[in-house]
Amino acid sequence: MRRGGVDLHGQLSWSQRVPGPLPPLAMGIQGLSKVIADQAPKAIKEYSIDQLFNRRVAIDASTSIYQFLIAVRSDASGSQLTNAAGETTSHLMGMFYRTIRMIENGIKPLYVFDGKAPGAKARELAKRGEKRTEATTGLEEAKETGAAEDLMKFAKRTVKVTRQHNEDCKKLLQLMGVPWIQAPSEAEAQCAEIVKGGHAYAVGSEDLDTLTFASPVLLRHLTFSEARKMPITEFNLEKVLEGMKLDMAQFIDLCILMGCDYCETIKGIGPKKALDMIREHRSIENIISAVDQEKYKVPTNWEFAEARALFLKPEVIPAQDPELVQRIRWDPVDVEGVVNFMVTSNGF
């Protein structure tokens, strides 16, 4: 079977071409991976996917779906895969094959979906909406000029994960016997809670703010390591704090200074300067009191305390909640259901 010029039978390698988040829209703590590599190299280790055999991993579903919508395309113009009704199916293809690859390697994936975004994230989401609007205009212009490179670039930047995308993937996972959890708010915070509660070994995400939510272990490149010929990178939070000589509260303040999704930063303070200041002054309040505000512009009505509270006490389902525990189970595959959903309903 072919769709959009792509042979879908047995093309697992094609479907694995899923990169990390697109830089213009990437979320997380700015520059944190380099700071950790420089200051706490013992906190990082790399290995192949088979070393995670029999491990449970909590995965940020929304980030994964976003990656699939960007990467799984039917042609050079950037068009996504669709079913006969014209509904997008790129996310289903990505979710289906990626999940299979993890299971083939002995991993037990558990997906967590975003809930309502915290109010503090409204500014960041508004920026993303503006970028999508600009990209939509650029896409229309590229269609008129026929510039293939611009078509793909702007098509990727218009991507947004919708409620329907999430519901489609939940249905597919249910049929595959793979557990999923609906977080009340941030998926990464819920993933971290699941790992802290002992229900999974690590969080699988590309965004390092999972560490800021205090996940003991973070795995990057989990869902595309084989396709990109990249090792999985593991970050150990305890060793991060030890290497940086910070406690958890100071680490959170460092991440806020470096740039998170919930508030602005102090102009002129980069990652290295932020770390030096936290080590010297130990908190953002002390930094504000000590810093030369002519040289370093502190934002007016800076909501760093609200951002800190979101990291320290995010809205999550407690790890030992009976309903949460009940949902974390891997059931037999409904083969007929998967075939009906993927083939009959969605044209695979």
Per residue in 285-301, pLDDT (tens digit) is 999 999 888 899 899 99
Per-residue pLDDT tens digits for 69-101: 876 654 555 566 777 777 888 889 889 999 999
Higher pLDDT, 144 or 95: 95
Q: Is the pLDDT of residue 139 over 50?
A: no
Mean predicted lDDT score pLDDT of the chain: 82
Which spans in 206-341 are helix H?
209-212, 237-244, 248-258, 271-281, 284-290, 304-312, 322-327, 335-339
Q: What is the largest CA-CA distance in the chain?
A: 67
Q: Is the pLDDT of residue 4 over 70?
A: no
Element holding 291 (H helix, E strand): none
Per-residue pLDDT tens digits for 9-51: 333 333 333 333 333 334 578 889 999 999 999 999 999 998 9
What percentage of the chain reaches a pLDDT higher than 70? Answer: 76
- Say which residues have a Cβ less than 8 Å from residue 318's Cβ, sequence separation at least 6: 193, 197, 324
Higher pLDDT, 280 or 89: 280
Per-residue pLDDT tens digits for 308-338: 999 999 999 999 999 999 999 999 999 999 9
Q: What is the mean pLDDT of residues 171-180?
A: 98
- Say which residues have a Cβ less than 8 Å from residue 235's Cβ, sequence separation at least 6: 36, 43, 44, 208, 211, 217, 218, 219, 220
Q: Is the pLDDT of residue 138 over 70?
A: no
Residue whose tokens read 């997906």: 111
Per-residue pLDDT tens digits for 225-274: 555 678 999 999 999 999 999 999 999 999 999 999 899 999 989 999 99
Residue 315: the pLDDT is: 96
Residue 223: the pLDDT is: 67
Tokens at 186, concatenated: 């941030």
Reported pTM: 0.81
Tokens at 336, concatenated: 């007929």
